Every structure is written in structure tokens, then in C-alpha cells.
Structure 1
């Protein structure tokens, strides 16, 4: 269901996540304006996966396009930063440390042999506002998977400007906030927040990666549901109060969500000139709060840059809170009518699958470390198996209907550094022409969708793998291989 009345589906959704549902018009939302936002974003080619809208204690829009859902886990990337900010606000209220405390004071064992004046001057607040004095960003993908101390890595980053000055976005600052919290509380960031934030909000099943120092990264690595992201935004829209219980200090919410630099950055919240503010993750995992309207918009997708969705939010959303009508509800119903339309799988007739079925191809040396590939064609499925130094990895794709499975198929370099171990995957196989099979792997808990082209020509296989969005490479180098036994034996 995308819009809600007194239906059993709406009741079931509300019972599952604890959020009451309502029609958009019932909470003063113009559904026609929301429909305009969705329609124009899709017409512009933006890959929306889910949209949710909350106001006056009710979810008015809960929309997810096939095969995505709002009630299943999602890798949220830098949304984690805004969650980390909640922990810092709570720890400050508990007097665990102060905004003016120096970062070097917490980790004497990790300091370089010479601590210059700029490093010595950096404070907790400088980390929160991303005014560390660093010259460039340190992406979360850069340290992910490293066994070295990330704290020591942070202290090794050159400081070129006095801290507290220029704003430079960097996940390294968020990591150090998590490290400071762990040092002063004796708990991981995740464990600290569990009883203070996650449990009161009814957030369950969330996970948070652990870095080499036994510390949650702070700036990334958090996986929870889109509806949980909605709760984070709604909590701030309600000035830190949830179901009558104060979870965050009101003064903290106010300070965290106002700009502290020309870059429009708060305390790990992105603040916009109109006063709205966002928890924002890579590829647009976003909760935007409109404080004057008391409303929260969640957008989850696979979009290369939030600047691509921002014009549509600006055009449609502020005026969407001027009041609703049954006609607006009907317009939104119509805009969301095709949410669950399954993408069809289309194949041409070809002999190639029969000829190459079960043949192992020995790959030439390549940069991704793949050794062999085998494709097994079954009447209704296609099993792709790749072998590398870590072992055998397989995905079963449906030839008539999509097949859901779990995989550890390598591809960290295409997925912003995430290995996706035990990842859910939805896979489909299509015969494009006489020589080419196309595999599509959708990882519904992420923004990523991979396309693999297998071209069989005689004894040779040419393999191309691409991804829809990424922070770096969008494709593997082309892989080529030779059949280990002659196809004439088939």
C-alpha cells in the first residue's frame, strides 16, 4: 500500500513498525504535490527505490518500487553520521566529555611522535562540524577492510588549516567521534545507542560494522530499514520527543540542525538555506526534515548525487504541506499505481546455452583475481559460478521469473568498498542474442544493481560486469577465458 485509509494493510504496517497510518489529506498533505514530485523525479530518470512521508505522528506515504521495501534492512552509508550525532548529544548530556575537549587528549597511545599546534588544537566540536583542518575528504571506503588502527590513521592525516575554520566533509571525523564515545563510555556506538535510541524508537534488526579498533565507523556501516530512517527524521521534527518520551535534549536538536559553517553543515546534519535539514547517505539514502511543517520526507534510491533530487524536492515539497484534499489523495494513488510492477525477463531462442552449459572457462590473468567462470543452464534457471582465491561463489538467476537468493559474490570495488557477505540478491537471466547471455543481480538491501554480460564465441568467453552506481569504478575490466575442454565434446 502506498496511501493509507482504514485498511487492514495499513493497520498491519502500523502494528509492525509502531507508526500509525493516515491518508495524506488527513494530516494536511496535498497528495497532488507529492505525486508531482514522484512523477517528475521518475521522468528525469532518477532511480527511486522508496519514498515515505510522515507528519503529525502518522505515515501518510509508504511507497516502494519493485523489488524494494521500506520494512527490510538497507545499507544507509553516511546516514550513520546523523545517528552518530545523536550519540554525541546524549553523551554530552551525560557529561562524558565536552565539545571543547581536545581530540588528542583521548588517545595518547596513538599520537604521532610530534604533535603540531594544529592537531593539538582540534576539538570534539571541530569533528562534529567537519572543520578538522584536513585538506581533503577521507572516504569511508578508503579504510574499510584495513587491519591497521583507524585512530592512528586519523592522526596521520596532514592538517593544512587551523581546525575550526574551513569545512571539509570527511568520514574520518565521524570515526573519531565514535572512537571518543567508545573510549569514554566503554561501549561501542551501537551498544550505547541501543537502549537510548534504537529500542525507544522501535528500531530492531539494525547492524553496524566494526572497524579495526573494535569501533563502529560512525560515518558509515549502519544498516537499518527505511522506516527506521523515517523515525530518525520524525524524532528531530518533534524536537527529540517520541511518544511523549524525551529521547534527545531539545537544545541539542536545535544546535545539531543549524548551520555552523558556510558549507551549510550542522552537527553531522546537512542544513539547507530554507531551514530544512537532512540525514544524507551516498546514492541518496535521505531523511529531510521540514521543521516548520513538522514533516519528514524519506527518499531511498540509487542516484548519483543528492543535487539531482534536490530540485524536485524544492519544487514540490514545501507547498505540499499547505493542506490536502480527496482529489489530491486520488492523484497520489494514481502516481503510485505501478509500484509493484515486476520487470519482465525477455529472451531470444538460441542454441548457445545448450552448447556451453556446464563448461568451465579458465580466465586470463586479471586485476580482480577471478580464476574461472562456469555457467550452468537449467530449464528455468541459470547458475553463474566464479572462482577466485577465496573460493567458489555462485548466483542462481531465473530465466522466466526472478530468483531470490543469498551470495558472497566478490565485487567490493564496484560496491563502495562493501564486500556484501551473505547478501540478499534477486537475479534474472536473459538470452540477448545467439552468443550473449545477460545476468542482472539486484541487491535489494543496497543501492547496487549489477549487470553481467557473458559472450560465448567458439571456445572463448568474454565477460563484462557493470554496476548502476558507485563511488569509483562502474565496471570491472573485461575478462576473457578459454574453455577447459573442447566444446566439440558437448
Structure 2
């Protein structure tokens, strides 16, 4: 069985995974009980918060992680990538490589279709930044990831419904083109361009940014980095572009990027979402978020598995910036209560069968699966005393996952399932998997993909030689379950 994780209270306040100094909440001018109330409200609402880091006055003041998520593990940040992409545009502009008034088609004459909408030539870099491309709807990352041809060419095929600059319509297609423009004017991928200018100065390491068919980072998504990476991005902007006394972004750019752009009633800047009371945030689907409270010198980073940020925003607004106070006098009892509440997030959930296994161990058998739209042809189950190994066969080959039985097992897997995972195809993906018998004929498995928001539930029933396989996911932008598979145990 996996060992219980070390409580966060055992981590010295002076050192941490992200290199940021630590202090207690009260020493940072934060009411500890207000943070406890925030966490309780989120939990009572049934929202799945995986982790939080709160920074104020130069120090991390509170940090908590739900088991099995950890702060040092890079995580898929989804559309938080957009706010990193905005930094690249600001840097390139300040280096004289582009202007916000430059037209998009001027960078890619070789990709322009023969017959274009007469409004297309007016689309500018700034229109991309403010999500005012003229498109009718979002082209999400899950759509892009299914396209093998040039995404630049595909972008210019998207019909225009409005005059560019006139209507806000959120779309990851705009972010991709910003990344493509950075590559065009620098000769580098967006990631390579940002690495020495942003990631390295902020002490961000171990990140990965996917690359599309054009050899270009998606810009609007595809970035995998630690949650502290987005916290640092927020801190950098809260500090007007300065990091440890070094100028990273111009203050002019930070102020422009984090205020409403495009219209008086706008709630969007340059790839930053604008919130009440001057707050602004970088936000990704399923709640990957860094929200800055510039008037309080604070940044809050959150990761979770929720349908959308609208579910948690009311709780953030209820407790922040109200949690920020003027005094920095130590409040030992309150800080202790907060630490106990944060430590409680690390409790490992019980995993115990409610019924005996119908199989004597060791036992291995194959299942022939009936024809299905997923292309799955067979399953192999190998039961041991405390482990079940499953091999799934489809047209791409054989995929394996090892699952603890009445315990949690940590490993990797390439199990297919992009339809359930926002279009992501996993290879050697870190997974913590556990199984238990819920009835004498039903095995229930939990597959927790710890670098993402996704947690799959798989229920297998074994009735004589008949087997059913049901797979669902906790959160997704599309389907939440696969069609039920049925099969028959192969005779030995």
C-alpha cells in the first residue's frame, strides 16, 4: 500500500518546492479563519479542489493539497497558457518585432485562401489578444488536437460572423495565431522564446508545451507546468512586471494586459479575465487559475476538477479580498487551525472491498468484446492478491494499467480515452489506481490521472462468462462516459 503522504506541516516554512519564501497567514496580513471558511464553503458545495497556494507581501502564506495531488508535479494548465502567451506578445512588441496594429494576414501570405472574407484583412494582433476576431464561436483546444493539417491554414478557413474588433467571442484559435506570429517574427517556438525571458527568471522549470502540426505551440493550451508556475505569473503581474528587482515585463504592458480592453463594458484584457474590484485572473478549464488582487498585493492559485470557474468564483469573491487585513501580528492559534485544516486535505481515502472476490488468485483470463464504436476488441484481467492488471486491445495495440486491489497503486498508463479527457491522448501518464469489490460480481476501479483534472471510474461486472465494462469520467468538456462494452470470457 502507498505510504501516507508527509503532512504539509512537516515542510519547513523557509524552504519549498517553488523557491518562494514562506510565512504564516497572520504574519502576511491574512485572516487564517477566512481561508478555513473558504475551504469549507468550497467543500460543502461539493466542488473538487485539488490544491491552493496563497501569496501575499512577498511570501507564500497558505498552501494545501488534496491527496494524491502534489505541488511539485507539473499539471495540465489548459487555458492558463493564454496568459503566458500574452507575455510573449508584450515582450516581442517591446523588442520591436511586431505592433499590435499589425494585421494577421501580413504574417502568413502563403496561407491565405484564394477567396477570403473582405473583413479578414482588418483583423489585427490586438484583435487576437482581446478575443475579437470576428468568429462566431470558440474553436477549443480539443478541436485543434484532432486536426493533423496546418492549423494556420485552418484558422483562415473559419468563417467570420462579425467585423474584427467589434464582438468578444472567446476562442483558442486566436491564441494559436498569436503563438504562430511569435514563431514567425522570432524564428523560435513560443516556448523557446519565453524560456530565457520569462520561465528561467521566475525559476520555472520542468514545464512542457505541446507542439502542433506547424511546429508551433498551441498558445491557448498545451502547457504542462507546476501550479506554482501560474502563481509566479500572477505575482509578476501584481508586481508590475518586476521579479526580484529585475524588469521582466514593462509596467506599461502589465497595466494594459490586465485592464478591460475592446469596449467600456469589457471583462477581458490581453488574455487575462477581468474580475470585480480590479482583480484579474489567468484561468483554464476545470478550474486551473491564478487570480491577482492588485490592491492587496496578493495572488491566489487554484487547481481543481470543476465544470467551470463560475462554480468557484462566488466563493472566491465572498472571502477575498475580505481575508486580507492590515495587521501582521502573529495569531498562533488561528494559524494552527488553518494548518490543521490544510493538513486534513492530505488524508488518503479508504479503499476497501464491500464483498469478497469471486476469483481465486492468481487468476488470468481474456474477454472478447462485442463490436463497438471505440474499436476495443478485447480485455485481459490478471488478478493477484492485491493487484489487478488490465490489458485493453484496440486497433492501435495493447494498453495496460496496473490497479491496486484494496489499495492505491502508483504507475503510468497509455490507456486510450481522449474523448473523455478534453481531447488529450495520454502516453506514459502518471496514474494512481485503486480497485474494490462493491458486490460479489462488480469490481469498481478509480484511475486518478494526477497531472490533470481527470479521474476515471470503471465498473466491471462478471456474471458467469458474461462481462460488462462501464467507464466514465469526473469532468470533461464533452462526453462524460463511454458506451457500455459487453463481452464474453474466452474459454481456457
Q: TM-score range by the shorter chain?
A: over 0.9
Does the 8 A contact of 2:362 with 2:385 survive in 1?
no
Task: Using the TM superposition, give the Cα deviation of residue 3 of structure 1 relative to its aligned residue in structure 2, in angstroms.
Answer: 7.5
CA deviation after TM superposition for structure 1 residue 346, in Å: 1.1
2:311 paired with 1:305? no
What residue is the counterpart of 1:371 in the other structure?
377
CA offset digits 1:288-346 (Å, max 9, x no partner): 00000010001100011101101110111111111463343233123223121101111
Provide the residue aligned with 2:247 in structure 1: 246
Indicate if the aligned counterparts of 1:118 and 1:163 stay in contact, CA closer than 8 A. yes
Distance in 2 (alpha carbons) for counterparts of 1:116 and 1:227: 43
Question: Is structure 2 residue 150 aligned with structure 1 residue 149?
Answer: yes
Give 1:2 deviation, angstroms: 7.9
Structure 1: distance between partners of 2:434 and 2:359: 15
Residue 3 of structure 2 corresponds to none
**Once the two structures are superposed, what CA deviation does each residue of 1:389-415 show, in whole Å capped at 9, x if it has no partner?**
111111111113211001111011000
Partner of 1:432, secondary structure, is: strand
1:439-486 C-alpha deviation (Å, 9 max, x unpaired): 11000000000010000111111100000000000000000011121x
CA offsets per residue over residues 344-396 of structure 1, 9 Å max, x none? 11113435233993111111111111110111110011111101111111111
Equivalent residues of 1:3, 1:22 under 8 A apart = no
Q: Paired residue for 2:320, among 317, 320, 324?
A: 317
Residue of structure 2 in register with 1:193 after alignment: 194
Equivalent in the alignment of 1:381: 387
**What TM-score results when the alignment is normalised by the length of structure 2?**
0.95
Rounded Cα–Cα distance in structure 2 between residues aligned with 1:431 and 1:204: 41
Asked whether the equivalents of residues 356 and 375 of structure 1 are also in contact (C-alpha less than 8 Å), the reply is no
With the length of structure 1 as denominator, give the TM-score of the two structures: 0.96
Alpha-carbon distance between aligned partners in 2 of 1:291 and 1:431, rounded to the nearest angstrom:
51
- The 2-side partners of 1:458 and 1:314 are apart by 55
Residue matched to 1:100: 101
Return the offset for 1:12.
3.4
The 2-side partners of 1:177 and 1:2 are apart by 42
Instruction: Identify the residue that residue 57 of structure 2 maps to in structure 1.
Output: 56
Equivalent residue in structure 2 for 1:439, among 437, 445, 458: 445
- How far does residue 61 in structure 1 lie from its aligned partner after superposition? 1.0
Task: Name the CA shift for 1:8/1:305 in 2 (closer, same or farther; >3 Å).
Answer: closer
Matches within 5 A, 1:470-481: 470-481=476-487
Q: Secondary structure at the match of 1:451?
A: strand
**Structure 1 unmatched runs, 5+:** none
> Is the 2:117–2:160 Cα contact (8 Å) retained in structure 1?
no
Structure 2 unmatched ranges of 5 or more: 1-5
CA RMSD in angstroms comes to 1.5
Q: Does 1:118 align with 2:119?
A: yes
For 1:424, which of 424, 430, 433 is the aligned residue? 430
Task: Tell me the CA shift for residue 421 of structure 1.
Answer: 1.2
Give the match for residue 338 of structure 1.
Answer: 344
1:443-482 correspondence to structure 2 within 5 Å: 443-482=449-488
What SS does the corresponding residue of 1:78 show, helix, strand or coil?
Answer: helix
**Paired residues, what number?**
482
Give the whole-Å Cα distance in 1 for the aligned partners of 2:357 and 2:252.
69
Question: Offset at 1:223?
Answer: 0.3
Structure 2 residue matching 1:61: 3-state secondary structure: strand
Paired position in structure 2 for 1:362: 368
Q: Residues 50 and 63 of structure 1 are in contact (CA less than 8 Å); yes or no, is this contact kept in structure 2?
A: yes
- Alignment partner for residue 282 of structure 2, among 265, 279, 284? 279
- Structure 1's 196 and 353: CA in aligned 2 closer, same or farther, altered over 3 A? same
Asked whether 1:413 is paired with 2:419, we answer yes
Q: Deviations over 1:110-153 (max 9, x none)?
A: 10102332101000000000000001111110010421100010
Q: Give 1:8 shift.
A: 5.6
2:267 is matched with which residue?
264
**Is the 1:382–1:398 Cα contact (8 Å) retained in structure 2?**
yes
**Alignment check: 8 A CA contact 2:267 2:273 kept:** yes
**Distance across 2 between alignment mates of 1:207 and 1:370:** 31
| 1:288 aligned onto 2:294 | no
